[in-house]
Structure 1
Amino acid sequence: MTGSAPIAQSRPAASPARLPVRQLAAASVGNAVEWYDWYAYSFLAVYFAGQIFPKGAGNSLVPLLSTFAVFAVGFFMRPVGGLLMGAVADRLGRRAALSVTIVLMGGGSLLVAVTPTYTSAGVLGPVVLVVARLLQGLSVGGEFAASTTFLVESAGPGRRGLFSSFQYVSTTAGQLVASGLAALLAQVLTDAQMTSWGWRVAFAVGAVISLVGLWIRRGAVETRSEEQQRAPRPGLFEALRRHPRQSLLICGITVGGTIAYYTWTTYLPTYATVHAGLGKGDALTAGTITLAFFAVLQPLGGMLSDRIGRKPLLIGFAVGFAVLVVPLLHLLTGSLLSLVLVGCAGMVLLTGYTSVAAAVNAEVFPARVRAAGIGFPYSLTVAVFGGTAPYVGTWFQQAGHAEWFPWYVAVLCLVSAAVYVVLPETAGRPLDR
């Protein structure tokens, strides 16, 4: 009995490194599903808004505005999800948290798919939609904390940057699949069919593939060490209470990256349409091309960081974006090619942050509170600065100062640049387990 104990104790720590494909699949597939469902809502809102919300007197935009208000509610549930699901990951295990987040997202997607219309059920329809978005907001907030921790702890020596890069590979894949399926449904079905029932198909698909993601995740290997599993469970706010400096550091690391990410992946096509006169179809096509290019870049950035360190990439991103965001946006014209070139140039710079963000965040906190320590400050910063990027850009435009928005992005990138300069290099250090 006593002679077999060392072998049993060594297996959990060693197995993840021996099973890189399974571990990557468990984190990436589930993360892609999470973001597929999240983006499907924004892509299809124009079809189901009028079904769920009644029109205001003389204003056909009321349903759409109400739908996006519910979208924002989900966004601001992300910090809560980061805290709660991070605590689950630290207390019960990374795999348990990953299972919970994907069940929440799948359940939320199913609720959206079966949401009754306002005509058939009255106020019950909007209530069901709000509950669904609350579940999905909790899920997305917790997903980053759990999957980031899981990915980095699954990596073998000298591969944490590579593994962490799959966080944004899978996020982008989910976004591309959501936009692709939405476009396919819009092509195959009539507008009347899309408005009546077609939009529900995408959410039903999301619920089904969530089950596939859950099955894959249940076969993953837990990355917490035996010592961590035996240790007393951390309190819900222990990371914030005992590691306030690291919590603030996560905010500083994230603020420039999240404003740049949401500006370039979400707001840029709209910016090109409004300010450069580019057609909506060309803007969406250019956005798809640049997102695909962005996904390909991520593993290259991750591998480079494993060789030369995280700080050169982070500083290159922040300084490069701060200096070039204004001239890049001024280069936009009414042509598809200009948006593709500007978009891809920004994606190259952005990769300096996205390809290593998961690794850097995980390397900041000790294993005991790693997931919760990452989850809350990261999700809060994303909600405050990343999620509001399109709104801030639109507000500047309505105020008659559209040219201020690029400067706003540049200033936030400089804030992160200052943090990156003083950030210790963690690439070559052993990860605390």
Structure 2
Amino acid sequence: MTSTGDSAAGRDQAADAHPPSSLRQLLAASVGNAAEWYDWYAYSFLAVYFADRVFPKGTDNSLVPLLSTFAVFAVGFFMRPIGGLLMGAVADRRGRRAALTATILLMGGGSLLVALTPTYASAGILAPIVLVVARLVQGLSVGGEFAASTTFLVESAGPGRRGLFSSFQYVSTTVGQLIASGVSALLAHQLTEDAMSDWGWRVPFLLGAVISLVGFWIRRGAHETRSAERLAADTRPGLFEALRRHPRESLLIAGITTGATIAYYTWTTYLPTYAIVNAGLDKGDALMAGTISLAFFALLQPLGGLLSDRIGRKPLLITFAFGFAVLAVPLLHLVSDSLWSLLLVQCAGMVLLTGYTSIAAAVNAEVFPARVRAAGIGFPYSLTVALFGGTAPYVGTWFKQAGHADWFPWYVALLCLVSLCVYVTLPETAHKPLDR
């Protein structure tokens, strides 16, 4: 009878003889991740078009439908911790690839449901209920996606390349967001305002369902990571093992993420709406500025990853957090009704933001041991994103409604200051071996 140790050794020898292609591993993670985030972000870009179709207007306030739509955006985020925990556990127990294929199917199904959401005029209260269910499914998917793809990417990296591989987490995220923004901007410029509100907003979500199927097919052909193959021979971890045995590391993930998530969702997702609501910028111009700045952002990510492999993670993290703590307020005050002002502010913020996004996967993966890495990252990361990232559009719009629009930039700066304090105390992990 062959022992478990002999089987594991055989797998290791086979993997050494036929190592998976780095390009293929990157493609499997990146294409699927782009499809996931395309579906997720299309909602934010198109909210201004379908808000008053799904939610009834308040008698005295035209911002009520938009507030309701962003509240549902936030509700989707609060499913992310559950997705991070459940799909992270799947990744730790069944393998990273199994979790990645499950998450992309969930996202495609949620996108299709958004596309088929009826209007309030035709279905009454059923319309917002369908939208909420769709966002809950997508939130479950996205929470699991980050946990699984983070571990998959970093564990697939060769020596001295974890930062570079890590950067593709946000390269693919940004590509998905860029496609969502580009499709939305194209439709906004080609269709009339009425056509966009009537049916045009549904087209990107239908496209997202198709893209998810393509991503699923590509991920099916990916190779499992060596770490996951070794773990398959061990006793499988319990659902809450990471939280129970590694409470300090869980809190560390939350501290690392707090400022980064508010800055990220403000600059990459909410800023076009912020410019529309607070500065009166044309909707089409806002989407166009967002699309151009996202392309610039995607190009920066590998440069940040490579730099971190040379000089370490801490210098980039500290530069990001200090920059936003000092500059978030003046940058957001520069937003006007000009496309160029929004583009300048977005690009400036994205240079700073790269200090975190390009290495987020590596920084998080280097905190936990391989046995509980996916679930250990997934739950605290997704919970923090839900609390501070998912609520960013709602908080910003609420400040505007309350007559305190100037408070939102200070809110962003304060949370970045909190993360700065965490970054200063972090140990440098760039040149240490990854626990496998």
TM-score (norm 2): 0.90
2:120 equivalent to 1:97: no
Residue 406 of structure 1: aligned partner:
409
Residue 298 of structure 1: aligned partner:
301
Q: Residue type matched to 1:40 in 2?
A: A
Contact 2:74 2:394 in 1 (8 A): no
More deviation in 54-63 or 219-228?
54-63
SS for the counterpart of 1:221 is: coil
The Cα offsets for residues 222-275 of structure 1, whole Å up to 9 and x where unpaired, read as: 113433111111111110010000000001111111111122222333444555
Residue 4 and residue 254 in structure 1: after superposition, are their counterparts in 2 closer, same or farther (change >3 A)? closer
Contact 1:99 1:217 in 2 (8 A): yes
Quick one: which of 309, 313, 317 aligns to 1:314? 317
Q: Distance in 2 between matches of 1:376 and 1:167?
A: 18
SS for the counterpart of 2:232 is: helix
1:133 offset after TM fit, Å? 1.4
The Cα offsets for residues 316-372 of structure 1, whole Å up to 9 and x where unpaired, read as: 111122122233334445543333223222111111011011100000000010001
Q: Residue type matched to 2:41 in 1?
A: Y
Residue 391 and residue 191 in structure 1: after superposition, are their counterparts in 2 closer, same or farther (change >3 A)? closer
Q: Distance in 1 between matches of 2:116 and 2:147?
A: 29
Quick one: which of 229, 249, 254 aligns to 2:257? 254
Residue 4 and residue 171 in structure 1: after superposition, are their counterparts in 2 closer, same or farther (change >3 A)? closer
1:73 offset after TM fit, Å? 1.7
SS for the counterpart of 1:220 is: coil
SS for the counterpart of 1:164 is: helix
Quick one: which of 234, 238, 249 aligns to 2:237? 234
1:422 offset after TM fit, Å? 1.4
Residue 153 of structure 1: aligned partner:
155
1:130 offset after TM fit, Å? 2.4
Residue 113 and residue 316 in structure 1: after superposition, are their counterparts in 2 closer, same or farther (change >3 A)? same
Q: Distance in 2 between matches of 1:305 and 1:67?
A: 38
Q: Distance in 2 between matches of 1:280 and 1:255?
A: 29
Residue 267 and residue 71 in structure 1: after superposition, are their counterparts in 2 closer, same or farther (change >3 A)? closer
Contact 2:320 2:354 in 1 (8 A): yes
Q: Residue type matched to 1:285 in 2?
A: M
Quick one: which of 20, 41, 44 aligns to 1:42? 44
Q: Residue type matched to 1:385 in 2?
A: F
Residue 37 and residue 5 in structure 1: after superposition, are their counterparts in 2 closer, same or farther (change >3 A)? closer
Residue 14 and residue 167 in structure 1: after superposition, are their counterparts in 2 closer, same or farther (change >3 A)? farther
Q: Residue type matched to 2:29 in 1?
A: A
Where do 5+ consecutive residues of structure 1 fail to align?
none
Residue 265 of structure 1: aligned partner:
268
Residue 20 of structure 1: aligned partner:
22
SS for the counterpart of 2:39 is: helix
Residue 64 and residue 414 in structure 1: after superposition, are their counterparts in 2 closer, same or farther (change >3 A)? closer
Q: Residue type matched to 1:362 in 2?
A: A
More deviation in 28-37 or 408-417?
408-417
The Cα offsets for residues 355-405 of structure 1, whole Å up to 9 and x where unpaired, read as: 011100000000010001001110111111112223333344444444333
Contact 1:82 1:144 in 2 (8 A): yes
Q: Distance in 2 between matches of 1:283 and 1:319?
A: 27
Contact 2:76 2:139 in 1 (8 A): yes
Contact 2:67 2:398 in 1 (8 A): no
Residue 433 of structure 2: aligned partner:
430
Residue 86 of structure 1: aligned partner:
88
2:353 equivalent to 1:350: yes
Q: Distance in 2 between matches of 1:419 and 1:350?
A: 16
1:184 offset after TM fit, Å? 2.6
Q: Distance in 2 between matches of 1:131 and 1:347?
A: 32
Contact 1:15 1:221 in 2 (8 A): no
Quick one: which of 341, 361, 382 aligns to 2:364? 361
Quick one: which of 185, 204, 207 aligns to 2:206? 204
* Paired residue total: 432
Contact 1:272 1:283 in 2 (8 A): yes
Contact 2:242 2:376 in 1 (8 A): yes
Q: Distance in 2 between matches of 1:374 and 1:41?
A: 25
Residue 114 of structure 2: aligned partner:
112
Quick one: which of 383, 386, 394 aligns to 2:386? 383
Residue 323 and residue 25 in structure 1: after superposition, are their counterparts in 2 closer, same or farther (change >3 A)? same
Q: Distance in 2 between matches of 1:117 and 1:397?
A: 26
Contact 1:12 1:222 in 2 (8 A): no
The Cα offsets for residues 98-127 of structure 1, whole Å up to 9 and x where unpaired, read as: 000000001111222233445555544443
Residue 312 and residue 390 in structure 1: after superposition, are their counterparts in 2 closer, same or farther (change >3 A)? same
- CA RMSD in angstroms comes to 2.6
Q: Distance in 2 between matches of 1:196 and 1:326?
A: 37
More deviation in 293-302 or 120-129?
120-129
Residue 171 of structure 1: aligned partner:
173
Q: Distance in 2 between matches of 1:57 and 1:396?
A: 20
Q: Distance in 2 between matches of 1:57 and 1:399?
A: 17
SS for the counterpart of 2:82 is: helix
Q: Distance in 2 between matches of 1:45 and 1:239?
A: 36
